[in-house]
Amino acid sequence: MFIEFLKLIRITNWIKNFFVFVPLIFSLHLFDLEYLTTVLISFFSFCLASSTIYVFNDIIDLEADRQHPVKRFRPLASGKFSIKFAYSIVILFLILTLLSSSLLVKSGFTIIVLIFIILHFLYTLILKHIVLLDIFSIAAGFSIRVYAGAFVISVPTSSWLILSTIFISLFLAIMKRHSELKRFEGDSEIKTRKVLYSYSIDFTNQMATVAASGLVTCYALYTVAERTINVFGTDKLIYTTPFVVFGIFRFMYLEYINQKGENTTEILLKDIPTILNLLIYLISCVVIIYKLV
Instruction: Give 199-258 pLDDT, tens digit per residue.
Output: 999 999 999 999 999 999 999 999 999 999 999 999 999 999 999 999 999 999 999 888
Instruction: Give 83-102 pLDDT, tens digit per residue.
Output: 999 999 999 999 999 999 88
Whole-prediction pTM value?
0.92
Instruction: Report the amino acid identity of residue 245.
Output: V
Number of C-beta neighbours around residue 251 at 10 A: 23
Is 264's pLDDT higher than 90?
Answer: no
Domain extent listing, the chain: 1-152, 158-293
Query: Do 169 and 135 form a contact (C-beta atoms < 8 A)?
Result: no
CATH level 3 topology of 1-152 = Tetracycline Repressor; domain 2 (1.10.357)
Number of C-beta neighbours around residue 173 at 10 A: 23
- Residue 282 to residue 102: CA distance in whole angstroms: 30
DSSP letter string, 35-84: HHHHHHHHHHHHHHHHHHHHHHHHHHTHHHHHHSTTGGGSTTTTTSS-HH
Average per-residue pLDDT in the chain? 91
Is 293's pLDDT higher than 70?
Answer: no
DSSP letter string, 162-231: HHHHHHHHHHHHHHHHHHHHHHTTT-TT--S-GGGGG--HHHHHHHHHHHHHHHHHHHHHHHH-HHHHHH
Instruction: Give 135-192 pLDDT, tens digit per residue.
Output: 999 999 999 999 999 999 998 888 999 999 999 999 999 998 898 888 776 555 445 6
